[in-house]
Amino acid sequence: MTRAGVSYFGVRIPRHVRRDLEDIAARGYTAVLHTFSENDLAYYRGTMAEVVAASHELGLEVQMCPWGVGRTFGGEAESRWVTFHPDACQVLDDGRRVATGCLNNPTYRAFCKEWADAALEAGTDYVFWDEPHWTVPEHVGAESERWACTCQVCTELSGVDLAAGLTPEVQAFREESVVDFLGEMSAHVASQGGKNTICLLPLTDGPHGVGDWDAVAALPHLSVLATDPYWKNFDETADAFVGRFARLLADTAGRHDVGAQMWLPSFGLVRDDISDLEAAIEATRAAGIDDVWTWGYEACGHMTHLATPDSPLVWEAVTRALTGGAATTERQRIDLRDLDLQPTKELVRLINTEDRTVAEAVDGAAGSIAGAIDMIVERLARGGRLVYVGAGSSGRAAAGDAAECGPTFSTDQILAVATEDEAVEDDRDAAGRELQALAVGPIDVVLGVSAGGSTPYTLGAIDRARAAGSLTIGLACVAGSELARRADRAIEVEVGPEVIAGSTRMKAGTAQKLVLNTISTIVMVQLGKTFGNLMVDVQASNEKLRARACRAVALATAAPEEEVAAAIAAAEGDPKVAIVSLLAGVDVEAARSRLSAAHGVIREAVADVVG
């Protein structure tokens, strides 16, 4: 079975979930696992059914796991059930009762069946029994040498002396209990028409391992056997550890004619771990396993406990390895396959709705945009230049913004290196040669623009600029791109898949224009090219712009019309000189001197006379 899957958890607002599911499907994943906690069981049963239905509409196969249920399954979720049923919880070997359901207790087994019924009612394709295990002492605040369970039910069932300690006989009873529990649960699911996946911990010995995987694989109602060898938890190399359990999984599943499913982590990893993750996936496939999943969506970057600063990079890397998908902006929206059949008015509304999301995406990158602006201002104040670099639609957006800055702000410090020749986009050296001709250096900023963050023309320019000592900034519309990795600073505006797959002139193009316009405008404001919100450094090269300059001087000074006209004439059409002359009550030569001393900033030039 060829399948690429990902877990999803934490969001319970259907419209937000649907957007994430669209992203998952567009990235090339074919299946999703939804966590279904006790809190979901109590408060979100109907919502979870909506979530599953949305998954199916997008062509995703669905698994559901008992996330943290009874604290006998995997998951960062707490259990309500153990609070209300302490008598059905496990007992440690020292007699302490702990907040974990006993796998042998009939009351707990009945509750797990109730949970499975709810999962099936929600419409899941598979019930995913995730890491069934006896209590882990450290998870309940007990000493690591403690073990469970020695409750009355286990004592009566075992037929061995539990007081003798964790003997081979006791360990065998514990394993047999896990298998029996899984047998009863999987039979119940099958009786309701459902299918079962059982995910075993990557252990074959010790207090939490299942030594006989064949006993689990042989269960009559099992469809898929899985495991999750998260190598970092075991201090082993990825290829060796994952490879060993991949072979065990493949061999065991093959003997019993059930599917083999591998789970690999994308959470908790940093960029230096990406090569290990790729090696783990390679080792899995080398064992003949094509049903490969990752935990979890966006490398769990939304969850403080599991996230790392490199979660976006890891997410892109694991997606490429599992699905071979293209950049997010170029993936096909599964829900829009009938786009050409929709009426014109609906298309207008659709594109308008999608465009509304761009501003939100740009707002999400506000911190990185602001940080880049501060660094640009510092260099331009020292006489440096801001050089945009881009190809195709990105290059046209960059060139357009740079072209506007000259007449708008009377500056030659913002320029663009761009190409519209599609073939040149693949030339890694073309833009670099132009940068070399411009003699970019340490006080310059080179800002590369690429929707998918992988354009060779732009990447080559970033490499050349860094070698010259320039500050480099990468603007992309995906997270974790090659451009982001190579640049000194990254601005990532995640707009998601386009309405028309591959048309980065749409949302990605809009986002790029918004960001570039924001950067150039604020840089010019901070360099004194405005007075308040008045455009006072305009090149008055035609009648319209001359009238605009007069209005700006009049609004800035509140001077009579004839005084404004005289001041502008004396200043030879320079609005800033005219404003300083009028506000400070000095002639134009003194006004120019004041502006020069204030580095062109009007407020500083008139600070002694204007409060």
Q: How far is CA 596 from CA 327, 394, 580, 592, in A?
A: 48, 36, 11, 6
Contact between 33 and 63 (Cβ < 8 Å): yes
Task: Please check whether residue 67 is in contact with residue 132, taking contact to mean a CB–CB distance below 8 angstroms.
Answer: no
Sign of the Cα pseudo-torsion (585, 590, 592, 594, in order): negative
Give the largest CA-CA distance in the chain: 108
The secondary structure element, H or E, covering residue 200 is strand 195-200
CA–CA separation, 207 vs 140, rounded Å? 16
Q: Which stretches does DSSP call E strand in 465-557?
A: 471-476, 489-492, 530-531, 534-535
How does 44-83 read in b/e, with b if 16+ C-beta sit within 10 Å?
Answer: beeebebbbebbbebebbbbbbbbbbbbbbbbebebebbe
The single residue of 330, 354, 425, 482 carrying the catalytic annotation is: 425
Give the separation between CA 139 and CA 131, rounded to whole angstroms. 14
Q: Using CA atoms in the order 512, 518, 521, 525, what is the torsion angle rounded to 10 degrees?
A: -160
- Of the candidates 184, 404, 563, 604, the residue annotated as catalytic is 404
Instruction: Put residue 328 in one of left, alpha, beta given phi > 0 → left and psi -120 to 50 → alpha.
Output: alpha
User: Which alpha helices (H) appear in 410-487, and where do they start and end?
Assistant: 430-438, 456-467, 482-486
Phi, psi angles (nearest 5°) of residue 216: -75, -45
Q: 586 to each of 563, 573, 574, 578, 580, how far by Cα in Å? A: 13, 17, 15, 10, 8
Instruction: Report the distance separating Cα 371 and Cα 441, nearest Å.
Output: 20
Annotated catalytic residue 354: no
Task: Residue 282: count other Cβ atoms within 10 Å of its Cβ.
Answer: 15
- Is residue 422 part of the annotated active site? The answer reads no
Residue 303 vs residues 8, 368, 394, 495: alpha-carbon distances, Å: 12, 21, 33, 21
Instruction: List, by residue number, the catalytic residues.
Output: 404, 425
